[in-house]
Structure formats: structure tokens, C-alpha cells
A and B are shown apart, each in its own frame.
Chain A
Amino acid sequence: MSTPKAMRQSLGLRLGSAGFLAFWCLIAAFPIFWITVMSFKSPVDAFATNPLEVIFGPRTRAGGDGLSIIDIVLGLLVLWWSGKFAMGRLPEMVARFTQPGTVLLGWIIAVVGFAVAFIVLFFAILPVVLSGLNAIAGPLGNPILGLTTVHYQSVWVENEFYRNFINSLIVTTGVVTVSLTVGTLAGYGLARSGSNLAFWLLILALIFRALPHSVLVAGYLPVFINSSEILRPIFGDAAPTLYGQPYAVIAVLVAINQPFTIWMLRSFFHNIPTELDEAARVDGCSHFQAFRRVIMPVMWPGVITTGLFSFLLGYNDFLVTSLLLDAQNQTMVPAIAGYFNRETTTTDQVEAIAAAVSITAPLFLLVMVFQRQIVSGLTAGAVKG
């Protein structure tokens, strides 16, 4: 496919944009790449002054943890093959073996099955096979790249980072669910309403959006601390102290996030022609049925994009979670900050880096799974009947 003449760029422009892209990749992607490399090395290697030592990790290798050429080649092959399978064959198989209506169930089974198979293959079968191969391969079997997963083990197992992960999961699930439920209903209502009140509600939402987050936290804090007294008339002696609980964080994050989701979803709804609502109404839908059966299915990309932004807010939030959660309910981001704040040894720092790398993994997964919806959601406006 050739570019139309009008869109063709001059050589200078192309070089310029390529250069800019490369520069941007370096600035944005390099730190992530570097901490990923660091997190797999022993502390001495990770903080070595020679960059090559950081990459090849001689001391990590000397400690007995390393990859040979065979390890690298086979490992990459397995990864590449699994990726290809997940992108190509898996959707085909799901399409072939599911009945219409059970597609979701089919996908869940497929994804879980694939994940289990991958874990067994990559972490159980592959190491056994490779240790055998390395023993008989001579020089090719000698480790050349130091790599150790010991930091990940100590983060997730010894330091019980999975608790923070579960807390993050609770908070983000709560934030996304509440934001999207309220946001879709409010956004739809506001998009379809022509009244002045709707306009002022949106302006009000914008003002709340502009407030610094710390204002909301400060406003909520006394209420949460005294919540057991405030709620006693309703719940009696069982009234909870909300301070330190995930619910408190969810409430504050929703308050921060809601104006934004309402605005965003409203503009998505606005792009859906009212003719669709009207056609549905005439075809026999009640108001709510029209929303559920016609408008929502058309809205999915918008909902997913908005949901992703809500997720990121909840997942990445530091201020609210660090101020409102007690130690055992802490989410991942403040927990990582905790690693750095402790009396630090270099080991602690590498562990913090390993934790930081761990929390980016779910984000990559999420974006990869929903990439099509996110792209069509971000470039929306093209909902034509």
C-alpha cells in the first residue's frame, strides 16, 4: 500500500520525525528497560558503574545464576511461539468450539488453560530440559548472562507483596466498578438532556475535577476517622471505622475520578446519534431497555477506554492510598515507596526495583488485551449507523 501523494513526507521531515521518535523512546522506554535489567541482577551488579556489568552481571553469574546461549535461544523461542499462539490460534479455537452466547465462557476457559499451560511449560518443563541440554552442550551451555529471580521471590514470598497486590485489586475493582456504573448512567442522562441543569452539573463536575486531590483527602479524613460514631445511629455497635479500610480509599478515588468519567462518557454518548435511541424506542424498548440493548453495546469502546483510565488512577494513586490506608491494607504503590523509605541496603533497593517492575506487568497485559477497544475508543466519534 503506497502513501497518497498528499500525505507523502519530505526526507527531512521523515528523518526529523524518526529522530524525534527515537529520542522519545530513549527518554520514555529506557528507564523501564533498565530497571527491568537491574531487577534480575545481584545488588553489586545492579549498581555497578560499568553499564556492561549491569547488563551481563558477572557477579550474578559467579553466584551460579546465569543463562547460556541455549537458554536464551530456547526461552525466546518459547516466548515467541506462545505469543503467536495467543494472538493467532487461540482466538480461532475459541471461535470454533464455542456456541454463540457462550463466547465469554469460552474465552475464560481458553485464557485460564493457556496461562496454566504456559506456566507449566516455561517454569517447570523448560528448566529441566535446559539443565539437561546445558550439561551436554559444552561451551554453548556455559552461562554468559547473569540472571537471578531471587529478588522477585523475596518481594512476593518473603515480604508478602501479594497482599499489597490483592489490596490494589480491591481498590481498583471498586473504583472502576463504581465510576463506570455511575459514569455511564450520568453520562447518558447528561448527553441526552437538553436542559440548563445538565450544563451546570457538568460545569460543577469540572470544578470538582480541578480541586487538588489533597483537598478531598483532607475533607474526608475526619469523617473516616470518626465514622464509627457517625454511623452508630444506623449500624449500632457494628458501625465500622472507615479509616484504614479500602472502602475509604475507593470513596475518595471515586470522588476524584467521577467528574472525569462523566465528562468522558458523556462525550462518547454524545457521538451516538439520538436516532438510535429513538429507533429502539419505536421498535418496542422502554427507556432503560434502549440504553441497555442498543446504546451500551455501541458504547463498549468508550466504556473500556474510560474504565482503563479509572483503573490507572486507582492503580497508580499514591497520595490517597498512602494517607488513608493502614499497614495491612496498603496497596502496591505506597508499599514500594515503603521499600525506599526504610533503612536501605542495596538489596532493599533492588527489591524495590523488582516490585516496581512487577506492578507494570498487569498494565501491559491489560493494554494488550483491550488494545483494539482502546484504540477505537480513543479515536471515537465514528459511530455511524
Chain B
Amino acid sequence: MAEIQLRKISKRWGSFVGVDSFDLTIADQEFLVLLGPSGCGKTTTMRMIAGLEDATEGEIWIGDRKVNDLDPKDRDVAMVFQSYGLYPHINVYENIRFPLKVRKADPATHDERVMKAAEMVELTDFLHRKPAELSGGQRQRVALARAIVRKPSVFLMDEPLSNLDAKLRVSTRAQIKNLSHELKVTTVYVTHDQIEAMTLADRVVVMKQGIVQQVGTPTDIYDMPANTFVASFIGSPAMNLMEGVIEGGTFRGKNVEISGLQASDGEVTLGFRAEDAEVADGNGQVNAPLYTIELLGDATMLTVRAGGQLVSVKAHKEFRAEIGDMVSFSVPTDICHLFDTATGARIGAS
């Protein structure tokens, strides 16, 4: 059981910055998700924690040990790789047992521990197969079992679900959440899928180009995105962002006019979530011809052009209109998020 401290760690290759001055304390037993688009440094950060990559600067502490100069094997971590990293020449049982064998755990306990780990991921029927004879989801579970067979102080998971099909991803996600709850081990999980981050995390770290954008609970980053990048990355669909100008508390942009905002004058980006706004009868704040209409089953998604961007609103599932019809959305001020257009940073508390 351990807390992880990352003290201003950086990773540079020549002049290229992979991770820039990452500073974070991950609490004991916390489930932390590193989220960001590819190339944002999330995997590099995890590999530095695992010891597969050296930190150019800064210190990494696991528990009360500084681990910068320790080999991966001495850091007491277990890792699940994106393409699983299973050993193809030995069967599932031996794969799961491998960490125990290498670390010379008491041989008498091996069988019991392997069976327990296999049970937890429901693999007991496949123990004598080779990895090549397993499906993707089963391989994924072998990798999980191999990680949990030895109680490490930290779990590291590098996009473990990205090679699975959509349906399997949902069920394995649930399994991972349940496992981490049961095992009570500090977990760092890397993903580019914001839904995984929202569903699994105690806290999410959103990264972009090696720089941390926001650290917070899933609710925090969903409801109070720190900047336009986070706002546009989190949520499905992402937050609507309209460009315009505020004058005397009124936001104006193409096809949009919202008054009653408490902000100083200047160029801003105004954001709101599709599910927070409603369709109004011609007297809403956004008025524009319909760009497209999508039937989702549980709702109807309406999209118009406003403030220089495509803006979507969720309407009732029986709402129908033709493309080109004028529609009106009501966007109350209490659902609006304001961002500085130049820097992208959040303005005020709204």
C-alpha cells in the first residue's frame, strides 16, 4: 500500500518535451486516470513511474522510497500493457505464475495464489492454453491476473481496453473497477477514452502536450473544466464552444445573444453542454437554421451554426424538423461556462 509522489518530473528527448514538470501526489488506494489525446505524455508519465523510462528531472517517490534510480523490478509495481505483453511460449497458468517464480516467492504458495488470481478474473477454464489460443478479452484478463497475483503496491495500466471491441470494453471496464475496489491498491490508469476516465477514476488528470491541464474528480472536470481544451475533450458530445464578444454583460456572436452574464467586456468563448440547453419556441438565445438532425433513440440531437462553431442541443426524442428550418435554443446563464478566447482559460466562477 503506497502513496505515489511525482515531484516536478519532466521527460525530454533532446529539445522535444514529453512531460513537463509534472507535480502530483497520488493518495494510497486512489484510482487515478491519466487522460489525454495521443502524444500528450500520459504513457510516458506512467512508464517513468514503472521505471521503464528515466525521468530527465524531478523525483518519483513510491511510499517512503525515492525510486528514480531503482530498476522496474525493485519498485514493487505491476503493469498491464496495451497489447498485454503475455509470454507466448508458456501457458496461462505459467504466465500468471511468472512474477512469483522470478521473485522467488515460496513455491508452496504458488498454486493457491495463481488459482485465486485466475478466479478473480474468471480464467480458471483456460489455464492450460497458450496465449495465442485465447481471444482478446481473455488475453486481457490473463494480463490482469498476472498483475494481481503478487500484491504489488502500485498497479499501472496502459490503455488496457483499447484493443477490445466496444461491448467487451464495457464489461472489462466494470471488472477492472470492481477489482481495484476489492484489492485496495493504488492504481494509475492511462487512457485516451474520456468515458473510461469518467467511469473508473477517483481523480482524473487531463494532459495535453506534456502539460497537465486539470486535476480533479470526474465531476470537477465535467462540471468545471479549467480551460477550453478540457471542455472540448470531456463529454460526449463535447461541450459546445461559441466565440463572441461580451459587452455590458451580454455575449454576442453570430446567431447568438445571451445577456445577464457577469463578466468584464472582451473577447470570450462561451460554452454549454448539449444536455443542459433546451429547444425554445423562437425566443431563445441561439437562433439559427438547422444544420443537421440526428436521432439517437433516447434523444434527438440538433446541430446549428452559431458563434463560428457547430453547436448541438439534445431535444426530446420525438422532436422532428427539416434541415434548414429555423430553430431556437434557450441557453440560461447558469449553464454557461466562459473562457478567455486568447488563452483558453476559464473566467470567473460561472
Q: Which residues of A are in contact with B by a Cβ distance under 8 Å?
A: 273, 275-276, 278-286, 289, 293-294, 297-298, 383-385
Q: Are A286 and B85 in contact (CB under 8 A)?
A: no
Within 8 A of A (CB), among B51-90: 51-52, 71-73, 77-79, 81-90
Q: Are B102 and A275 in contact (CB under 8 A)?
A: no
Cβ-neighbour of B85 out of A273, A289, A293, A297 (below 8 A): A273
CA distance A279 to B90 in the complex (A): 14
Chain A to chain B contacts (Cβ below 8 Å), 27 pairs: A273-B83, A273-B85, A275-B81, A275-B83, A275-B84, A278-B52, A278-B79, A279-B87, A280-B87, A280-B102, A281-B73, A282-B72, A282-B79, A283-B78, A283-B99, A283-B146, A284-B73, A284-B99, A285-B73, A285-B102, A286-B71, A294-B87, A297-B87, A297-B90, A383-B88, A384-B132, A385-B139
Per the CB 8 Å criterion, the residue count for chain B at the interface is 28
Interface string of B93-106 (1 = CB under 8 A from A): 00000110011000
CB contacts (< 8 Å) of A289 on chain B: these are 102
Q: A289-B102, A293-B102 are in contact. Are A282 and B88 (CB under 8 A)?
A: no
Q: A282-B77, A293-B102 are in contact. Are A276 and B87 (CB under 8 A)?
A: yes
Q: Is B50 in contact with chain A by the CB < 8 A criterion?
A: yes
Distance in angstroms from A230 CB to nearest chain B CB is 43
CA distance A285 to B103 in the complex (A): 8
Q: Is B36 in contact with chain A by the CB < 8 A criterion?
A: no
CB contacts (< 8 Å) of B307 on chain A: these are none
Distance in angstroms from B40 CB to nearest chain A CB is 20
Q: Are B102 and A283 in contact (CB under 8 A)?
A: yes
CB contacts (< 8 Å) of B50 on chain A: these are 278, 282
Q: Which residues of B are in contact with A by a Cβ distance under 8 Å?
A: 50-52, 71-73, 77-79, 81-90, 98-99, 102-103, 131-132, 139, 146, 156
Interface centre among A275, A284, A285, A384 (most CB of B within 10 A): A284
CB contacts (< 8 Å) of B71 on chain A: these are 281, 286
CB contacts (< 8 Å) of B83 on chain A: these are 273, 275, 385
Nearest chain B residue, comparing its CB with the CB of A272: B88
CB contacts (< 8 Å) of A293 on chain B: these are 102
Nearest chain B residue, comparing its CB with the CB of A278: B52
Q: Are A279 and B81 in contact (CB under 8 A)?
A: yes
CA distance A365 to B90 in the complex (A): 28
CB contacts (< 8 Å) of B89 on chain A: these are 297-298
CB contacts (< 8 Å) of B88 on chain A: these are 298, 383-385
Cβ-neighbour of B102 out of A284, A384, A385 (below 8 A): A284
Q: Are B72 and A276 in contact (CB under 8 A)?
A: no
CA distance A383 to B86 in the complex (A): 11
CA distance A285 to B73 in the complex (A): 6
CB contacts (< 8 Å) of A383 on chain B: these are 88
CB contacts (< 8 Å) of B78 on chain A: these are 282-283
Q: Are A385 and B72 in contact (CB under 8 A)?
A: no
**Besides the contacts A280-B87, A283-B73, A385-B88, what 8 more A-B pairs have beta carbons closer than 8 Å?**
A278-B72, A278-B81, A279-B87, A282-B72, A285-B102, A286-B71, A289-B102, A385-B86
CB contacts (< 8 Å) of B103 on chain A: these are 283-284
Interface centre among A273, A278, A383 (most CB of B within 10 A): A278
Distance in angstroms from A80 CB to nearest chain B CB is 34
CA distance A298 to B132 in the complex (A): 13
Distance in angstroms from A380 CB to nearest chain B CB is 13
Q: Are A282 and B73 in contact (CB under 8 A)?
A: yes
CB contacts (< 8 Å) of B81 on chain A: these are 275, 278-279
Q: Are B131 and A286 in contact (CB under 8 A)?
A: no
CB contacts (< 8 Å) of A281 on chain B: these are 51-52, 71-73
Q: Are B131 and A385 in contact (CB under 8 A)?
A: yes
Nearest chain A residue, comparing its CB with the CB of B132: A384
Nearest chain B residue, comparing its CB with the CB of A382: B132
Q: Are A279 and B79 in contact (CB under 8 A)?
A: yes
Nearest chain B residue, comparing its CB with the CB of A276: B85
Q: Are A385 and B85 in contact (CB under 8 A)?
A: yes
Question: 9 tightest A-B contacts by CB?
Answer: A279-B85, A275-B85, A284-B102, A283-B99, A297-B89, A284-B103, A281-B72, A282-B79, A284-B73
Q: A279-B79, A385-B86 are in contact. Are A286 and B132 (CB under 8 A)?
A: no
Distance in angstroms from B189 CB to nearest chain A CB is 15
Nearest chain A residue, comparing its CB with the CB of B53: A278
CA distance A222 to B139 in the complex (A): 59
Q: Are B139 and A282 in contact (CB under 8 A)?
A: no
CA distance A294 to B102 in the complex (A): 11
Nearest chain A residue, comparing its CB with the CB of B100: A284
CB contacts (< 8 Å) of A294 on chain B: these are 87
Distance in angstroms from A261 CB to nearest chain B CB is 22
CA distance A276 to B78 in the complex (A): 14
Distance in angstroms from A324 CB to nearest chain B CB is 40
Interface centre among A282, A284, A298, A383 (most CB of B within 10 A): A282
Nearest chain A residue, comparing its CB with the CB of B80: A279
CB contacts (< 8 Å) of A297 on chain B: these are 87, 89-90
Q: Are B86 and A286 in contact (CB under 8 A)?
A: no
CA distance A132 to B50 in the complex (A): 77
Distance in angstroms from B83 CB to nearest chain A CB is 6
CA distance A57 to B90 in the complex (A): 56
Distance in angstroms from B135 CB to nearest chain A CB is 13
Interface centre among A275, A283, A293, A384 (most CB of B within 10 A): A283
